[in-house]
Structure 1
């Protein structure tokens, strides 16, 4: 047995509406077994579905076929999350702390600030 991929994405609550799930498929944001999926492509138990949500890829293995949208706990029974954990964020200072009343930074201090923020593009260097 198989279910349309857009219907499954909607039923397991990866998309808020069915039309949003269809739009995600049309836009190439849904892949089934590493191939771009059209909205009507069938998905079956054991398939790997990759969905791009807010700029990040989420990877799911289909463990059950859902045709109706239910509660979140019911939806969680129909997939297994294979998404790797996010990489740890590199701690960078939020701002350069200057003494109060020190005035504007000098040219050298501004270059140091830019270098610290990762904007060390200087056309003369």
Structure 2
């Protein structure tokens, strides 16, 4: 019996000044563990029902900092796709469109105010 899971594309940014360990645990024995350095962005794929736990090492040993649902970390669908041609023309600096000052890129929603990161590149 083969079970096909729909996976989510997720992103987590370590906004602390300390190295952390990200452990993602999900259904069907899914497990992912990565070291995330300060201000590093971790991109990963996982099943929708997964949970991301962020750990650090304190004086007393490992400490759980936070637990996040991966739905809160999901990368917005279509954020990395170019805009349709009519929208691209309106946002072009040559056209002077309303969006000419707005950068494009990937947006990562972290669900927590201090974990919101926008990864943008100039047009």
Name whichever structure is richer in strand by fraction. 2
**TM-score normalized by structure 1?**
0.32
Higher relative contact order (CA 8 A, sep 6+): 2
Name whichever structure is richer in helix by fraction. 1
